[in-house]
């Protein structure tokens, strides 16, 4: 499928989704969100790692498109937020691992897009934040909730209430990103992490992602039950038999995702 505002490129089991609206600093308008949603729906089981990044050198995603938002009504705002929430939920529900390669500004909707990913790595030039209150609104794509769960309620309040943005090094200190890399090393690092994951059982990684993601919203007893079920569900799979046989035979496993 041809896209106008994004690029989708696959190299074997690793797919890269690039938001590519350089004149708008990759801001998320409705069309771009719809294209991202469509791209996520088009992914097959062949994709085991999805890397999201921004086109150009300045911006990952500068935010939602203010030019579009400034003219919409409250009912249209609900629809726009619903679209954004669908995209973030789709990222969390994908069976593959998602990595945000934050190469520049990740503000507002851009920060929320990164928060929807499993892992976040950032360039030294990156800046992250949720500045919506400076526009008289609040984050609308899940930012208030995911940020609080990631960095803690008080730190999330500080970042959201002040409406500022922070450099990548400070974001790492807060636990918002995992690592900060020189710009020219960012994508290479993300691909290296992806390569390490590709050595492991794809069914196991998908199950671990599901258990972590959905268990985080439950109490410990319920979350542990979710883990128990996920653990048991993998037994009898070809991957489980191959993984354990390979261990006993002291060789690398050849997983097939079955």
Cα gap 37→56, rounded to integer Å: 21
Residue with token string 């892992």: 119
Tokens describing residue 182: 């020189």
Instruction: Name the DSSP letter for residue 24.
Output: G
> What are the distances in angstroms from CA 39 to CA 15, 33, 209, 235?
11, 10, 20, 32
Cα gap 74→66, rounded to integer Å: 15
Tokens describing residue 139: 């984050």
Decide: helix, strand or coil at residue 28: strand
Tokens describing residue 223: 């979350």
Instruction: Name the DSSP letter for residue 254.
Output: -
Evaluate whether 110 touches 88 at the Cβ level (below 8 Å). no
Cα gap 110→100, rounded to integer Å: 10
Evaluate whether 102 touches 168 at the Cβ level (below 8 Å). yes
Evaluate whether 47 touches 96 at the Cβ level (below 8 Å). yes
Cα gap 1→184, rounded to integer Å: 29
Residues designated as active site:
112, 132
Beta bridge partners of 166: 128
């Amino acid at each position: 499928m041809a896209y106008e505002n994004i690029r989708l490129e696959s190299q074997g089991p690793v797919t890269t989704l690039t938001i590519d609206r350089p004149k708008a600093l990759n801001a998320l308008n409705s069309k771009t969100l719809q294209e991202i949603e469509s791209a996520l729906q088009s992914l097959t089981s062949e994709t085991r790692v999805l890397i999201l990044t921004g086109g150009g050198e300045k911006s990952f995603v500068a935010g939602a498109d203010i030019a579009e938002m400034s003219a919409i009504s409250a009912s249209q705002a609900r629809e726009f937020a619903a679209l954004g929430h669908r995209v973030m939920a789709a990222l969390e529900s994908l069976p593959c691992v998602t990595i945000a390669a934050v190469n520049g500004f990740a503000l507002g909707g851009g920060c929320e897009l990164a928060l929807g990913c499993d892992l976040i790595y950032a360039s030294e030039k990156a800046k992250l934040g949720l500045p919506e209150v400076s526009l008289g609104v609040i984050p609308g794509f899940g930012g208030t909730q995911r940020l609080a769960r990631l960095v803690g309620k008080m730190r999330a309040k500080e970042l959201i209430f002040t409406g500022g943005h922070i450099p990548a090094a400070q974001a790492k200190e807060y636990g918002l990103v995992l690592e900060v890399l020189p710009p020219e090393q960012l994508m290479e690092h993300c691909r290296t992490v992806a390569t390490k994951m590709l050595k492991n059982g794809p069914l196991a990684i998908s199950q671990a992602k599901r258990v972590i993601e959905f268990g985080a919203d439950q109490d410990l007893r319920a979350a542990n039950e979710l883990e128990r079920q996920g653990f048991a569900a993998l037994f009898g799979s070809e991957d489980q038999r191959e993984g354990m046989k390979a261990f006993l035979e002291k060789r690398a496993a050849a997983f097939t995702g079955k």
